[in-house]
Amino acid sequence: MTDNEDGGTTLLIVDPQNDFHPGGSLAIPKADEDAERIAALIRDNVRSINRVVVTLDSHHKLHIANPCFWESGDIDNVQPDPFTIISCEDIKQGKWRPRSFIKLPVGETNIDPEVFGSMDKITDSNGKLDLKKYAIEYTRLLEEKGLFKLCIWPEHCLIATPGHNVVPCIREALEEWSGKTGSSIEWEMKGQPLLTESYSALKAEVPICSKTSFKQQLQDKLLLSDRLLVCGQAKSHCVNYTLRDILDHWPEEDRSKITLLTDCSSAVPGFEDAATKFEDDMKSAGVNLCTASQTFTS
């Protein structure tokens, strides 16, 4: 057995999962075509791709951005529709509230004050986590960053469901690549904690503990690459914020080592402007943009 060598070309595929494809619960209309191009890129360039890192969006049913976490402040057991925006002010005014029966998995109440900040705003008189107070503070912090308000998504990529699995054409190409190169796929799961969101594979939107803080180890592994190719779903969200976080911790003089594959990723419907701005920002920052067919032509 030999160790995988540093350097070379790393392919980073963000969230290539069934639920983001036609027929899935959060389908992106062009995702199947994107996936076919990714699969062809892998098969046609087996010896040119030295490492493959794949992220997996991985949620529980009772995640804070899923309908089942919430109920109307006026009518019990009425959940918000997908794509509802819940603001900090909505929760303060009682329009929406966390469902009273929510039980956090063992250990998830251990929010780290050194990461999250003061616990006074999110605990009751006995020092226990108060979910309504937490939701108010969470959405306040989310809005303070100026990027998002809390969006309620259709349930997607629930762990152990078919929608969580990698779309077949990419999975089959990955298996072939592994079998031919002797290298294993490096899997990175994100989104498991109930109480925060992780569009980026590198950190949560609002870190609450060390597990949801910036993943320096993953960044360090990516930095070993002579070339980093980025693709997957969705260009408006998880590819967008994953690459922004990578870039924030990447040496400015080496940004040309990063390539965004523009025809291997698409926007969530309704968020096309975010995807366009992302591409423009990456080009301005010195990241290469090209199509799959152009990747290894020079």
Q: What is the pLDDT of residue 2?
A: 52
Compute the mean pLDDT over every residue in the chain, rounded to the nearest whole number.
Answer: 94
CA–CA separation, 20 and 4 (whole Å): 31
Least reliable range by pLDDT among 74-78, 184-188, 263-267: 74-78
Specify the residue for token string 């030295």: 50
DSSP-assigned states of every residue in 144-181? HTTS--EEPPPP-SBTTSGGGSBPHHHHHHHHHHHHHH
Rounded percentage of the chain residues whose pLDDT exceeds 70: 97
CA–CA separation, 33 and 261 (whole Å): 13
Q: Letter for the amino acid at 240?
A: N
CA–CA separation, 146 and 141 (whole Å): 9
Least reliable range by pLDDT among 46-50, 126-130, 168-172: 126-130
Q: What is the pLDDT of residue 288?
A: 97
Q: What is the pLDDT of residue 61?
A: 96
- Model confidence at 3: pLDDT above 60: no
Q: What is the pLDDT of residue 1?
A: 45
Strand, helix or coil for residue 131: helix
- Mean pLDDT over 22-32 rounds to 98
